[in-house]
Every structure is written in structure tokens, then in C-alpha cells.
Amino acid sequence: MTSDRALVDAVLSHAPGAFERLVNEYQRLCWHIVYRLVGHPEDAQDLCQETFLRVHRYLYQYRYESALKSWIGQIAYSVALRHLERRRIPLIDSADGELPDLDNIADAFDLESACVNEDLHRQVDEALEELPPLQRMLLTLYHVDELSVSEIARVTGLAEGTIKSHLYRTRLRLRSMLNSDSPDNLKRTNP
Amino acid sequence: MNTDEQEWRAQERALSVERKGDRPVSATDRERQYQYLARRIAQQPVPTLPTDFARHVARLAEASRGAMDTAELRFQWRLIGAAVAAMLMSAVLISASFGIQWLSFVYTDNPWLRACVMCVAISEALKHWQRTRPGQNVQVSLTSYDKLRRDEDG
């Protein structure tokens, strides 16, 4: 928070290079939020730009009530959300069906083989890309940016329970896909 | 939350093991599956922003601030102009209605008017002194940011 304050003060006093430093600091998070929601690199780049121009314009309104990261994340989220609304792209899959039955998911799995299996990598990458925008973004913020559930809640305005539920369901579905779609050589062969 | 607590814990344990890079890998097959997913999510190829994105946005923000400042300044001058015009029109209307007797306060001994004139005179004298004192008549140097931008552009 102290470094946030110093950076914000520097930007507000128009210190040379301060805003560029701020953008450098938070562009990765902004990109993950926007790109994961929007899914198109060019649109996402424009929206990231819009996000930071808004940050620059309204930074004087930032009151240190949350981390700067969360505040910028909120702006990125709302900018991307408005874009999706304009394009009428649903944030979540309305036909979010039943969860796979835990008892029917086979457990046998060889991690070492899986880690060198390019086919499986491709399948999982494709499955990740095909996730609904919100789930794709939540997974990235939680796994890649290492934001806690409460930090994600501050960025998105969603309840913590809702975020946990999305993470749980997404990971469970991906896990069930591993076993149903993966080649036989991924499943541990018992001697 | 509609989750199986055991399953959720397995997901979280696998993520934690993957983040720490601990060996040996997760204990159960289920956790190994989640560990693989955690690794894949972290390693998934994703396009990135251009390397000069921050610099580009900073320049845009600086340019838009300049444009905003100019627009605000223009608006302020318009407001001042409107206020002066309104005062002049009022003076003309009052003169037309009541004659020019109200202007007598200018040439009679009015202490408020004297105080007002003194304030303006002091303010102008200070401004003049600031402009002409030694060391102040050199051209204001560019900020380092402007220099940086010129260096980059040049």
C-alpha cells in the first residue's frame, strides 16, 4: 500500500515517467482480465488502453480503500464487461449443465507422461479457450496472477462463494475431460 | 457453495504443490490430475501486450491531459468573458434607468474603492517584482519528461 501511495502521488504530481511505471506495473493483470473476458487480442489491447486512460483520468478519485491493483482491476473488468454487453456476448454459459459425477471420474493418471504429451496439452488448451469468458478469467486470475478469492471478489464484485463455485466447477469439468478424452497411455497401466 | 469439500481441498492442495514446485508430486491420482491442470493453466500460451505498450499509453495520457487542460482553460475564459459582458450590460441598463449618478462613487472619497485600488496595485507590483528579480528572467527550462520525449522522438 505504501508503494501504491508513492506511485499514485508521483502520477498525480506529474512526475516524469511515473504513469509509464504504473502501466508497467499493472498491465499484466489488466491484460489477463480483459483478454480472458474478450478473447480477441486486438480488441483486448484497445480495451487495456482505454482502461489505463481512465485510470489516468480518474486517479485523483482513488481513496486507498483497496489495493491499487484491485482498483485498476475493477476498471479493467467494467471496461471489458461493457464491451461484451455491446457485442451481446454472454459472460457465463446459460446452459451450464450438470456437474460430472465424482464417482464416475477415473482416478488413474500418470503425471509425468501427461506432462510430455503434446496431444493432451492441446486438448486442455482448447478446452480452456472454450470456457465461458467469466470462468476463463477467474481461472487465470486465481492460478496465474495468484489473486486470492477475496481479491477477485473486490475486482469483479461477485460474492466469494460464487467465485469458489465457478473455480470448483471449471476445474472439475476439466478433470473429467482429462479422463474421458485422454489417450489410454495417460492412464496408469497397472502391472 | 455447491461443492464437494474433499474435491475442493484436492484442487487447492494440488495448486499449492504445483506453485511450490515440491517433489514428490501430489499424493493421490486425483491431486496429480489437478496438478497437471494447474501446470497447464499456468503454461497456456497466451498473446501478450506489445513491449512498448506502457510507453505508448503514457504518451497518449499525457497528450489527452494537455488537450483537457486547454479545453478547461478555454472554458474558464468563456465564463470570465460572459461574466464581464453581463456586468457591462447591467451597467448600461442601470445607467439608462437611473442616470449616471451611481458612478459618483468613483470620484467621491470612497474608502472601499481606495482599498480595492491598493490591493490591485500591490498585486501588480508583486507580479512585476517576481518577473524582474535576478535569476527569474531566464527561460523556464523544460521538464525532464519533455526532454525524455524529445530525445526519444529526435
Q: How far apart are CA A26 and CA A8, in angstroms?
A: 13
C-alpha cell of A18? Answer: 511515473
Which carries the bigger pLDDT value, residue A87 or residue B149?
A87
Structure confidence by residue, pLDDT tens digits, A40-68: 999 999 999 999 999 999 999 999 989 99
Task: Residue A164: name the closest of B34, B59, B11 by CA.
Answer: B11
Q: Is A73 helix (H, G, I), strand (E, B) or coil?
A: helix
CB–CB of A150/A156 below 8 Å?
no
Percent of chain A's residues with pLDDT above 90: 64
Enumerate the residues of chain B whose CB falls inside 8 A of the CB of residue A48. Answer: 49, 53
Question: What is the rounded average pLDDT of the residues A158-182?
Answer: 86
pLDDT grade, residue B139 (50/70/90)? very low
ipTM of this complex: 0.83
Nearest-neighbour CA in chain B from A175: distance (Å): 6
Q: What is the pLDDT of residue B127?
A: 85
Eight-state DSSP code of residue A186: G
Of A143, A168, A178, which is closest to B38 when you measure between CB atoms?
Answer: A143
> Touching check for A121 and chain B: CB below 8 Å?
yes
Structure confidence by residue, pLDDT tens digits, A3-53: 889 999 999 998 999 999 999 999 999 999 999 999 999 999 999 999 999
Of A111, A124, A174, which is closest to B32 when you measure between CB atoms?
Answer: A111
Instruction: Name A86's Cβ contacts closer than 8 Å, sequence gap at least 6.
Output: none
Enumerate the residues of chain A whose CB falls inside 8 A of the CB of residue B8. Answer: 164, 168
Enumerate the residues of chain A whose CB falls inside 8 A of the CB of residue B10. Answer: none
**Neighbour tally for A139: CB within 10 Å:** 22
Per the rule left: phi > 0, alpha: psi between -120 and 50, beta: everything else, A176 is alpha
Q: How far apart are CA A8 and CA A60, in angstroms?
A: 8
Nearest-neighbour CA in chain B from A12: distance (Å): 12
**Confidence check: pLDDT of A184 > 90:** no
Start-end of H helices in B99-143: 104-107, 111-132
Task: Residue B32: name the closest of A145, A168, B23, A141 by CA.
Answer: B23
Enumerate the residues of chain A whose CB falls inside 8 A of the CB of residue B38. Answer: 143
CB–CB of B53/A48 below 8 Å?
yes
- For cell 496465474, the residue is A144
Structure confidence by residue, pLDDT tens digits, A57-112: 999 999 998 999 999 999 999 999 999 999 998 888 766 667 777 666 666 667 77
Structure confidence by residue, pLDDT tens digits, B12-47: 999 998 888 866 555 788 888 899 999 999 988 889
CB–CB of A17/B145 below 8 Å?
yes
**Neighbour tally for A30: CB within 10 Å:** 27
Give helix B53-98 / helix B144-153 axis angle, nearest 10°: 120
C-alpha cell of A106? Answer: 477415473
- For cell 470570465, the residue is B80
